Chains A and B, each alone.
Chain A
């Protein structure tokens, strides 16, 4: 069956990506000891991780990296945090030089303002600081986090990273923090 798919793709002039790399990431640490502790704690938490040699672009830390399921970056970081482990970077295997989105789009809706990070948006009422809507995201934890966050105050709500698992929830975390920063800065948002 895989042959069928591959031959179909060839007809379309494409090259199938290596499925073992398409949804994996590298965790880069400063010291070898951290790599070993990270591997052990992530394995204990049920994540499929492996220790490997880094590609040339990543030879900045120690000479080993941990591969992990990239989409689960938020949950992986939570496990590492509990172990007081802080990776120098977490990057996609398919593009080790790619960086997380750092651009925010802020939209003024009069009595409300919306902050977008990557594919996720959070909207806050200026007068009260209440989160009135969360939209976008494609991973299943975003609808869950949206139901938790909607109606809460941006000042006091639990950060999405506490219960999020995926990269979408990590994007929501970034949008949330930016919305909170804007709220604190001006008292009434952007």
Chain B
């Protein structure tokens, strides 16, 4: 076991479980579970509609293409009451102190109830391990908690969209809903907001800002921009951000340096989108048959030099 994805399924009855999944049609099916709250020891299959299931599906498909082990997934049902997320935080904190976690090389945190207490428990458990520190990627609710906790710069990559970037750049906002209006103006440039977030200590070391232009920043400095292929209809499709974070997870799990992994993930999602030809009513599930090709094209069309020659 090397890479772990942590997130939620939007169904309160879904059990806390840890294991690997595969994609079958439009559903994720459990393959091997090391832990499951149910008597059967096996959770039900999950539809790939958006959220963490979309991230997991993309990561699984990309891992197959990259010929690496599929990531392990710690999932729980949570429709927003926080009860599932609280159980996940507790299980993860104790698992991180077990010998089983020694081979952990990275963690991707996703749709979880943003709890500062829960976040701090996890971060303390990670700091207390007697093993090399895993790479840490955070998106969605867990990224909000990481920012609120004041420990954002402990993370390697955050993957915000434009609204979430404005929240990271606003040192006063405890949630994107309270971001001050002047930071949400379209005249605010993403590179400047990223720099602000880094200066306030509210950014991970790297940002992959998802938008019509995907921007990759490191320590407040712009490293790369991904603009092609240009697919304006990807923005309204729920789950396209999850697709990018899923691809980033797979590239990072394959041992590709994180900066390059960010560029490849942004490109891979666009190439998959180009084959899907989405309209605003397209479902993220329709992207999945093209993920492997998107990964291949990103690898073949992104030279190492392109990443190294990124803007400074």
Task: Write the residues of chain A forming the contact surface with B, with a CB cutoff of 8 angstroms.
Answer: 1-2, 4-5, 8-9, 12-17, 19, 22-23, 70-73, 75, 92, 94-95, 98-103, 105, 107, 109, 111-112, 114, 116, 118-121, 123, 125, 132-144, 146-147, 150, 163-171
Contact = CB atoms under 8 A, between A and B. Distances in A.
Contacts of B184: 101, 103, 105, 118
Contacts of B52: 143
Contact of A118 (B113, B179, B236): B179
Given A166-B80, A168-B176, 12 more contacts: A4-B128, A9-B150, A17-B150, A19-B120, A95-B173, A95-B178, A116-B163, A118-B177, A139-B113, A140-B84, A143-B8, A167-B178
B66 interface: no
* Chain A interface helix/strand/loop/mixed: mixed
Contacts of A123: 236, 280-281
Contacts of B231: none
A22 B112 contact: no
Contacts of A138: 111, 114, 139-144, 164, 176
B163 to A, nearest CB: 4
B50 A143 contact: yes
Contact of B151 (A9, A102, A143): A9
B233 interface: yes
B181 A103 contact: yes
Contact of A169 (B80, B123, B186): B80
Interface in B228-267: 232-233, 235-241
B49 A146 contact: yes
A147 B54 CA distance: 13
The 6 closest A-B pairs by CB, nearest first: A141-B80, A143-B51, A144-B10, A132-B281, A138-B140, A165-B80
Interface residue tally on B, bucketed by range: 35 or more
Contacts of B8: 140, 143
Residue among B115, B141, B201, B282 with the most chain A CB within 10 A? Answer: B141
Contacts of B144: 138-139
Nearest to B176: A119
A140 B128 contact: no
B2 interface: no
A95 B11 CA distance: 33
Contacts of A111: 279-280
A118 B176 contact: yes
A150 B84 CA distance: 24
Nearest to A24: B174
B19 to A, nearest CB: 20
A107 B236 CA distance: 9
Contact of A139 (B111, B117, B124, B167): B111
Nearest to A105: B186
A150 B53 CA distance: 17
B237 A136 contact: no
B113 A143 contact: no
Given A5-B124, A19-B116, A23-B115, A140 B78 contact: yes
A95 B8 CA distance: 29
Given A12-B153, A135-B50, A95 B113 contact: no
B37 interface: no
Interface in B99-117: 111-117
Contacts of A141: 10, 79-80
A139 B149 CA distance: 16
B117 to A, nearest CB: 7
Contacts of B65: none
Contacts of A119: 161, 163-164, 167, 176-177
Contact of A140 (B85, B120, B123): B85
Contacts of A22: 116, 148-150, 174
Interface string B172-213: 111111111100111000000000000001000000000000
Nearest to B236: A123
Contacts of A92: 173-175, 178
Contact of A170 (B10, B113, B151, B177): B177
8 contacts: A17-B148, A17-B149, A22-B150, A101-B181, A109-B233, A135-B239, A135-B241, A139-B80
Contact of B127 (A1, A114, A167): A1
Contacts of B142: 138
Interface string B116-159: 11001001100110000000000111111100111101100000
